[in-house]
Amino acid sequence: MTNAYKDHLKNCLDKHLNRQETEWLEQQQTKLVQEPSEKNIFLAFALIARKIRKSPITFACPLQEETDTIWSDTWSLHQVARIYLLLSLDVAPPHLNKIVERLCDLGDVEEAATLYKGLHLLPEPERYLECALKATRSNMVPVFLAICHYSPFPFLYFSEDAWNNMILKALFLSEPLYPVYGFDQRAKRKLKKMAYDYAKERVAANRKLPLDIWRCMSHDLDQDVWRMMHCYAQTGSDEEKDAILSALAGDENKESFQLIDEIRNGREKP
């Protein structure tokens, strides 16, 4: 599928780059194919910021060769060009793995975020699991969000514990969960318990709950979670009530309907 990803990236670049940008990128590609040294790769990555505009574009392609799933995200032309150059390298996957790890460690924040966003497009992406896990532990929010938001890599390759830890960190940072690829498919009972325990800690400390925490606890409501939701359905802010309604949308159990009715009926009272 890697060649197909490269073709998708090339088609995207052809539509958006001007003539001067295209000529420069082709020169860099030729140079890297002929001499894929670390020095040349690092230099090309750095020069992209000066030679190509940073315009945002929507990039879409099939996620995996054996499925019809279409993955899409908004990238900058810088990001598309950098991943395109990586896919142009004529090196074995283990060598590419080392190159990517070095770029992640030594590049600036934007370059590192680009690499994490594009890990699933590289050949043998499972090789980059440790690299992706490092991003989830990063103190740099753009790096963390590069793997947490929109990237299908965690959905495809993270263990349940790694996935849950990433979600809890997003909650801790008050980052939304709707951009997390495949969230509903991977939201399991263990995550609900972890989110509930985290919510209890914040309530005990008289701290506001992250709005998206209800998405982690909304399916298969147990008594403890229902009590907490019921409390916020009665006394929470409009923003918190909206978050609960959004989390319960599509859930067809009796307890969910009851909470939804309480919130809606409460708003109808003068």
pLDDT of amino acid 83: 95
Q: Are residues 41 and 149 in the same domain?
A: yes
Q: Are residues 132 and 259 in the same domain?
A: no
**Could you tell me if residue 234 is inside a domain?**
yes
DSSP state of 218: -
Q: Are residues 35 and 153 in the same domain?
A: yes
Using CA atoms, how far apart are residues 86 and 100, in angstroms rounded to an integer? 9
Maximum CA extent, the chain: 74
Tokens of 179: 């951009």
**Could you tell me if residue 14 is inside a domain?**
yes
* C-alpha distance from residue 242 to each of 203, 231, 248 (Å): 19, 14, 10
Q: Are residues 105 and 48 in the same domain?
A: yes
pLDDT along the chain (270 residues), means of 10: 77 94 96 91 94 90 65 90 94 92 92 95 94 96 96 96 97 95 90 94 94 87 86 89 85 75 70
Q: Which of 121, 111, 126, 138 is nearest to 62 (CA)?
A: 121
**Could you tell me if residue 130 is inside a domain?**
yes
| pTM recorded for the entire structure | 0.90
Q: Which of 181, 180, 132 is nearest to 158 (CA)?
A: 132
What residues make up the domain containing 222? Answer: 187-268
Q: Which of 131, 165, 167 is nearest to 149 (CA)?
A: 167
pLDDT of amino acid 1: 43
**Segment holding 73, helix H or strand E:** strand 70-76
What are the percentages of helix, strand and coil residues in the chain, rounded to 5?
70, 5, 25
Q: Are residues 68 and 200 in the same domain?
A: no
Q: Are residues 196 and 229 in the same domain?
A: yes
Residue given tokens 């600036």 in the structure block: 108
**Could you tell me if residue 172 is inside a domain?**
no
pLDDT of amino acid 89: 92
Q: Which of 145, 144, 126 is nearest to 136 (CA)?
A: 144
pLDDT of amino acid 268: 56
Q: Are residues 108 and 28 in the same domain?
A: yes
Using CA atoms, how far apart are residues 69 and 229, in angstroms rounded to an integer? 34
